[in-house]
Amino acid sequence: MAGSSYTDLREKLKSMMPYRDGYKGSSLRDPEEPPYGSTDRKRKYHEDSESEPSDYEERQREEEEAQKVKSGIRQLRLFSPEECAKIEARIDEVVSRAEKGLYKEHTVDRAPLRNKYFFGEGYTYGSQLQRRGPGQERLYPRGEVDTIPEWVHDLVIRKLVEHRVIPEGFVNSAVINDYQPGGCIVSHVDPIHIFERPIVSVSFFSDSALCFGCKFQFKPIRVSEPVFFLPVRRGSVTVLSGYAADEITHCIRPQDIKERRAVIILRKTRLDAPRLEMRTLMPGYASDRLSGSNRDPILKPKRSHRKADPDAAHRPRILEMDKEENRRSVLLPKHRRRSHFSSENYWRKSHGEDFEEEEEEEESSSDGRGRREALWTPARGRFKPGLGSQLDMESQRTSILHRVVSFAPDPLPARQYDMKTSEPISFYLSNLEELLAWKTTSDDTFNVATVPLAQRQPPLDSRRPRTLVCHDMKGGYLEDRFIQGTEVADPYVFYHWRYIDIFVYFSHHAVTIPPVVWTNAAHCNGVLMLGTFITEWTEGGKMCESFLAGEAEAYQAVAKQLAEMARFFCFDGWLVNIENSLSVTAARNLPHFLRYLTDQVHRLVPGGQVIWYDSILRTGELRWQNELNENNKVYFDVCDGFFTNYNWKEEHLLRTRELADDRRVDVYVGVDVFGRGDVVSGGFDTNKSLRMIREQGLSIAIFAPGWVYEHLGSEDFLNNEDKFWALLSELLPVHSVGSLPFCTSFNLGMGKRHFVKGQERRTEPWYNLSAQEIQPIYTNQTMPNGAWLRTRCCLQDAWSGGSSLLLEGTIPSDVYHVTARLFSFQVPAPPRVFLLLIYKQASQAVSFVPQFTTRRQLSSACPPNPRPPSPAGPARHNPSPLLTPPPHIAQFLKGCGQHRKHGWQSRCYELELQNCFLDELSITLSRRQPGQDELSFACRLGKIWVLDAAGLRSLSPTALASLALPIDVAHVHWHQASAGWLSLNLTLRWIYPSSKATCFRVHYRSGACASGPEPPLVLIGEAHAPLYRVTELKVPEAQESSSCRLEFLVEPVPKNGLQVDPDMWGKLAFVYSAPKLPSTNNSDSL
């Protein structure tokens, strides 16, 4: 790209950036308000100002306000995953009791997508009040809500007191807010005349965010950019006081509730807080019995009397709002009130008073989309007129769509789809113009990772040396760019996740967005995924000058886009690699850019990381240092980590360690496995470099481990890969599973064939890393007693996916058994544990028995609560086999028995434990009878579960019964395949919580254009997100006087391995009729 185009970019920034005020104003301002850029609006903020503030002054004001908000926030990570699980089970009990009507009337308050449960003290708010507005809230009379449950005191409040978050006896009001996906609470301030400060909240079930200073609009719902965005992790404690509690509104946006989330809010009521009199709650009480200013507000009927729609959380419709007001104290001075922010009163003035009635009408109506011939509706016992009476609703989860075939061109976006097949693909950006112009579209959703970052120990923020792997495979975006997978034999995969902390997807494109399949695989195994922002050579220099040599606005624009990409696509940050010289001005701004990018990533991505590569000196000169020193430390000081170049020697390590001091683990010393340049080692000798680095307590960055695949070839890749990592394993601490339940089928995300419950479903090779599951510890060892043991991936047979775990080896004549270590755990042991195995054993001469080890306390290497190592070693436990599994356990093994002709068998074990931590899971293989001969063995593991008996209720099939699966359609394309046959491409979309499913199987029933026997159901693919692109599907051509019918069925595959009843699958009846004449000019767009 010519240099002039980068110069032009500086002038284009204001028009190109989606976060600019002018841009926001065009879509988010209220129709009754003046435009965002007008003088009237600015005077709302500056009533005493004689002149309009400049853009710079506006930005300064916003940044100052964000700092004020931040000053009033305190966050702590106090609750471990195990503690969260116990509390979440108690919250489920509260929900169950409420459904059974066991609480007092005013304890429970229901709203669409959000339920409240008041304990200790309850209060009126929002639409419950006849007179709405700040200061109108009242406490209920004492005794009108249930007391605070004992478990809240024991499991939550006590811990907060112990950590001095709140004083003893502070809390007398506890509220549980239970949000469904898409739920929210509009901008508000907790009533100052009701509650003391601070306000303490503890989050459970999933990660979310709290936003400050947002403006809401409705129908459709829209939310302005927040003044401050606060990520809120599961198990975290958030404390609001000062400016954050009193001077600015806070809210939870619908887009920040991706999964079910609950929060326990703990507060203390003021002694002088106004309280309703008991008579105001009595039937027949009227406001005209009172007079004067002391008259109490009269309450509207309680929302808790309305029956909740169990499928409401998953129906694709306009989101209803939690109608909690913007509650500001009437005591605040006028200039400190944000009345223009979204309060319910403000909204009602613009949209009328009958909001609740409108909501109920919306919930009972169907949703018609598009033209008359393209109507869609989720089935609710009837469908909209226009389709004809020949279509009946098969089930409550059936959607019906009627289309007229059209061959009109409707090209797909080239960036997100392969032009030959229309398959969705992962993409990169080539230059700064593309980066600045990027904004999210519905076609980007294929590239959004759906697997949340798994919990494991020790966490990344523990102060121990880490391991980073930087992927560099032939330029990147090869077979891994196909989001729905592809047919390829012997692809490159990475599966030794137990040894690493961070994975960087690297390419030489300017903005490398990690392919979603890699992000899903990394997150499944608890590893962070980073993209790469790189500039190189002459063109890279021009690019850097265009955003670094100008005003701060330019580099901030780039940083905001990069951070927003990480947030939207759900990866975890960036490696920044500037490999070209910079001007003095650009070099001066580079640390500011890096700091701003790091701050933005931290703001938008929980646990996000920005790592700098050793290339540029503080003067702007391009010169690799191979160490951390005073010439490049300025970049290390403003980001999360430093990735050194590869040509270091021992003296470089010593100087780096001394300068990094207590941040030495944030220095990742580069090791090029290809061994290019003046390096210590590479290839199978890479362990020599690692040993020198570990001796200095520094972290490691392993660059291009794909050397194994590129240099040695693909034919014996898995064996060579195991050999490479086995040589490094003693220098790479194993990471531990951090939570239960635990389940894996050992699937690598590839295979020569594909299996479902031991049955071969397809015989072609396949590759899709999104299908990869949690991987074990792979070992290959010869023991001093002569025994040999190896665990490796087996592609010849599998229970689920494309691979199983093969345990093979030999037992010498004088040895009785060998033990294979499979998984490391750091989990508080439940009182009762179930272990389930699906396996296949070739020889009956060897028996195998699972074994757990436990410890009395966590290892000192596993923060966040380091303790000295236990004086006693680990205790070993052999769980007891259950000949007949209990019914609630047998459901996991359903289908195994009927496939015994394929050799797969199942076992169930039980183990009771007390006051300890799970440490390891191993398999011991033993001779059945003593003998003189050396004994060889081979055993395959197909699937394994480790389950907490107390949590089995939430894993039952009935827990899935309320999840709806309506299906929608987009991007329909027709082609004439041959005489009498059409080729159909379309995108299926549905809504289903990502936390509930590991994938979705998409089935198809071939087109029927006339009466006859029902065609068989055919599996056409697996989706790892709630959407799937059907490509080149051959269907019969419809005649002019008739219609044809196809059926698509979506089967959720739960993460716990249970089978969902076909009645609970999503179903689309797709009816199409013959194309109209060309003059009708039909379009395929929905």
Residue 49, amino acid: S
Give the type of residue at 627.
E
Specify the residue for token string 């708010």. 125
CA-to-CA distance for 130 and 136, rounded, in angstroms? 10
Three-state secondary-structure class, residue 454: coil
The answer to whether 482 touches 423, Cβ cutoff 8 Å, is yes
171 contacts 157 by C-beta, under 8 angstroms: yes
Residue whose C-alpha is closest to residue 565's, from 11, 991, 18, 13: 18
Helix axes 3-16, 552-569, angle to 10 degrees: 70
In Å, the largest CA–CA distance within the chain is: 102
Q: What is the DSSP string of 661-719?
A: GGGGGGEEEEEETT--SS-S--GGGHHHHHHHHHHTT-EEEEE-TTHHHHHH-STTHHH
- The tokens for 341 are 């922010």
- Token pair 């326990």 is found at 264
**Burial classification of residue 763, based on how many CB atoms lie within 10 Å of its CB (0-12 exposed, 13-18 middle, 19 or more buried):** exposed
End-to-end alpha-carbon separation of the chain, Å?
Answer: 37
* Helix residue ranges, H only, 122-254: 150-151, 158-162, 242-246
Cα 989–Cα 991–Cα 997 angle in degrees, nearest 5: 105
C-alpha 464/C-alpha 736 separation (Å) is 14
- What DSSP string runs through 1011-1036? SSSPPPEEEEEEESSSEEEEEEEEEE
Q: How many CA atoms lie within 13 A of 49 on its CB side?
A: 15
Mark whether 6 is an active-site residue: no
Structure token digits, residue 299: 């309450």
Question: What DSSP line would sit under 583-647, residue for residue?
Answer: -HHHHHHHHHHHHHHHHHHHHHSTT-EEEEES-B-TTS-B---SS--TTTHHHHTTSSEEE--S-
Residues 6+ apart with CB under 8 A from 200: 160, 165, 166, 171, 237, 238, 239, 240, 265, 266, 267
Q: Under a CB-based contact definition with an 8 Å cutoff, are residues 864 and 77 in contact? A: yes
Catalytic member of 103, 117, 123, 635: 123
CA distance 65 to 718: 55
User: 558: burial class by Cβ within 10 Å (0-12, 13-18, 19+)?
Assistant: buried
How far apart are the C-alpha atoms of 131 and 124, rounded to whole Å? 11
Cα(779)–Cα(792) distance, rounded to whole angstroms? 7
Amino acid at residue number 300 = K
Angle at 756 between CA 754 and CA 758, to 5 degrees: 95
Q: Are 938 and 789 in contact (CB under 8 A)?
A: no
Say if residues 945 and 825 touch (Cβ distance below 8 Å): no
Given a contact cutoff of 8 angstroms between Cβ atoms, the answer to whether 297 and 130 are in contact is yes
List of residues 6+ apart from 1039 with CB closer than 8 A: 1009, 1074
Rounded to whole angstroms, the Cα distance separating 181 from 157 reads 27
Q: Per the omega criterion (within 30 degrees of 0), is the bond before 35 cis?
A: no
Residues that are catalytic: 123
